[in-house]
Amino acid sequence: MASIKPRISVEYADNATIVTFVDEKILEEMDVQALQGSIMPVVEEAKRIKLILDFCNVRFLSSTVLGLLLRISKKVYEQDGQLRLCNISPRIYEIFKITRLNKIFDIYEDVKSATDSLPAAD
């Protein structure tokens, strides 16, 4: 059986849910749909989720991923949650700047700074 890509790892920290993208490339439409199918249930299962998306392994992504990030963001905020992105490579960050998504998303250098930016547990 073929492995499903892209893969994610989910870690439940003290005050946040950290989703790390495992794959270096997220380019195909099928990959983006698989990502949505993996991440949305994590978001939907927790009201007021504090979600950190860690891009430490990602070097290439398609514009379709940006649309997915907007859908994730909308879902998180509809549930009165918090969303942080971190470990975005300089090359990918340029895409965020060009599309002005760096003004929409809270982007941090690493998981620790993203986690520290979150309000304390309720």
Q: How far apart are CA 114 and CA 74, in angstroms?
A: 19
- Superfamily of domain 8-108 in the CATH hierarchy: STAS domain (3.30.750.24)
Q: Kindly tell me the sign of the dihedral angle through the C-alpha atoms of 100, 105, 107, 111.
A: negative
Give me the residue spans of the domains in the chain.
8-108
pTM: 0.92
Q: What is the predicted pLDDT for the residue at 121?
A: 63
Q: What is the predicted pLDDT for the residue at 1?
A: 40
12, amino acid identity: Y
Average pLDDT across each block of 10 residues of the chain; the chain has 122 residues. List them in order. 68 92 92 93 91 97 95 96 97 96 97 93 58
